[in-house]
Every structure is written in C-alpha cells, then in structure tokens.
Amino acid sequence: MPKYAMVIDLQSCVGCGACSIACRNENNVQEGIYWSSKITETSGTFPNVRFHYLPTLCNHCSNPPCARGCPTNAMHKLDNGITMHDPDKCIGCRYCMYNCPYEVIYFNWQNPHKFWKDAKPVIEGGTISPKEMAQNINNGNGTPYSNPARGKTLPENRPKGVVEKCTFCDHRIKDGKIPYCVVACPADARIFGDLDKPDSKVSRLLGKFKPYRLKERLGTQPNVYYIRSYNPARYERTKGGI
C-alpha cells in the first residue's frame, strides 16, 4: 500500500499563496476555513532581519492525535496514509481540533458560503444578487464556481456542524492525479509522492536534503517534510573578530 507524503522545498517557495487559492477552488472551501495555510515570521532587529514563509497543510501524521481522539472514528487513516474525515459519522464535538497540535482542522460554524445566499444585490437596480447568480449557474449549490469533482468522496459543500481539513485531494488521487496545490505551485515547490517507493521523487529528495517536520518532538510523525531554506542575503567573507 502506498504511504503518501509531501515535500515542500522552501528554497523554491516564494510565498505567492497560489497553493492556498487553488486548494479553496478545488475543494469548495468556505470563508474562514483554510485547508492550505501558512506560517510567516519576521525575526531579528533592523538591519539584520529575515523573513520566513512556511506553507502549511494537514500533515497526515502517521500517529494522528486527531484520529486517536475521535469518538466515532469519523477522523480515520486510510490505507494509503491519508488522514480522512467522514462527515456522516462526525458529531461535531471538535475534539480532533482540540487534539491537533497544528490547528489544521476547521469546524463549519455556520452554513457554508454565506455570501452566495445573500438576496440583496451589490448595487440596487444595477447588479444581480449573489443568491440569484448562484441559482442561475449552479442551482444554488454553494458557489457559482463550485467543483463537482469534490463530491466524489466528501460532500461538495460540507454542512454546518461538521469539521473538515485537507485530504491530500483524495478524490484526485483516486483518478491517479496529484493534489491540486502541487499542480498549482508555479515554482514546483511542492512535491508529492509515495514514501514506500525508494525511487519516488519524495524518497529521493528526503535522502538528498536534510528535512525537518513541524513539532516533531510531539511524536505525531507528520508526513509533510520541509527541505532547504530561502535566504537571498549575502555577507562579505569574514573571520569575525574579538
């Protein structure tokens, strides 16, 4: 069985956020939820400052605290290593969110895509209302730009009262395609593959470059690895001094 993982090359990543936008589009993610997110950090004091951009997503941990804590096994591991969620079993207790150290699970606090249910036009007498547009294009099913392919393994728009998170685009993996964030990255900074294959790109990269993972000391065994780092700064050759 495959063991899917992702390697993110921080040297290539420019922090454009295309991965996050593509993910929202592919998975019909509603406002306030961020399956693909980021951590940014500015450190140091001027003029010796640096900036880090770290793209984040569900780490699909091999020892997932979310799945361990879910009372109904709604959050469970698939055979291919993906941590998957089943909204039909979810009671909305948010214990998975409590257990996740990476804060990558989100709860649907209200009905999805509230904007597209608004019957008030943006300009009275000038524009169409969001509700009418959604009705005309997609029969009122979420957004006008909803992706029906997502409906293969999860509801196209998850209802109020259940949690959701990144699924490594399992609906695309079923068709032999890689996750959409990986496709969308203009710098090819995200590499997806099977860790159980020694000649897969991810296995090779993890051999070539020393990886690190988020919060490794907690023992969750995440499967999203970060390699290299980006810093264009240079300094004149020096041996320091006393």
Partner 1 sequence: MKSIKIQLWYGLLGLGILLGLITAYRVLIGTGFVLYAKTDILVWTIPIAAYVFFSLTSTGLAFVSSIPVVFNTHGYQPLEKRTVFLEIAVLMAALTCLLLHLGSPWNAIYFLFSPNFSSPLWWLGMLYGLYFIVLLISFRRMHTTGTSKVLGILTFIIAIATSTVLGWLFGLPDARPVFAANFLAMYFPLTGFASALAAVLLFSIAYYHFAK
235 Cβ neighbours under 8 A, 6+ residues apart: none
Binding mask 18-57 for partner 1 (x = CB under 8 A): --------------x-------------------------
206-235 footprint of partner 1 as x/- string (CB under 8 A): ------------xx----------------
Q: For residues 14 and 91, which CB has a smaller minimum distance to partner 1 in the complex?
A: 91
Chosen residue from 72, 127, 221, 229 binding partner 1 by CB under 8 A: 72
Q: Kindly give the residue spans of alpha helices, DSSP state H, lying in the chain.
A: 18-27, 65-69, 95-99, 130-138, 170-173, 180-184, 201-208
Q: Which residue has the tokens 């509700």?
A: 131
Q: Which of 35, 107, 116, 192 binds partner 1 (CB under 8 A)?
A: 107
Binding piece for partner 1, criterion CB under 8 A, among 50-58, 136-144, 160-168, 172-180: 160-168
- Pick the closest to residue 220 from 103, 104, 105, 100 (CA basis): 100
Provide the token pair at 170: 């399992």
106 binds partner 1 (CB under 8 A): yes
CB contact at 8 A, 40 and 52: yes
* Using rule CB under 8 A, residue 92 touches partner 1: yes
Helix (H/G/I), strand (E/B), else coil: 217: helix
Q: Which of 91, 122, 128, 187 is the binder for partner 1 (CB under 8 A)?
A: 91
115 binds partner 1 (CB under 8 A): no
Encode burial over 45-71: b for 16+ CB neighbours within 10 A, e otherwise: eeeeeeeeebbbbbbbbbebbbbeebe
Q: Considering only residues 61, 74, 134, 206, which one is a binding residue for partner 1 as defined by CB under 8 A?
A: 74
The nearer residue to partner 1, 90 or 189, going by C-beta atoms, is 90
68 belongs to the binding site for partner 1 (CB under 8 A): yes
Tell me how far CA of residue 91 lies from CA of 33, 88, 106, in angstroms.
19, 8, 14
The stretch near partner 1 (CB under 8 A) out of 100-108, 130-138, 142-150, 176-184 is 100-108
CA dist 111 and 204 (Å) reads 43
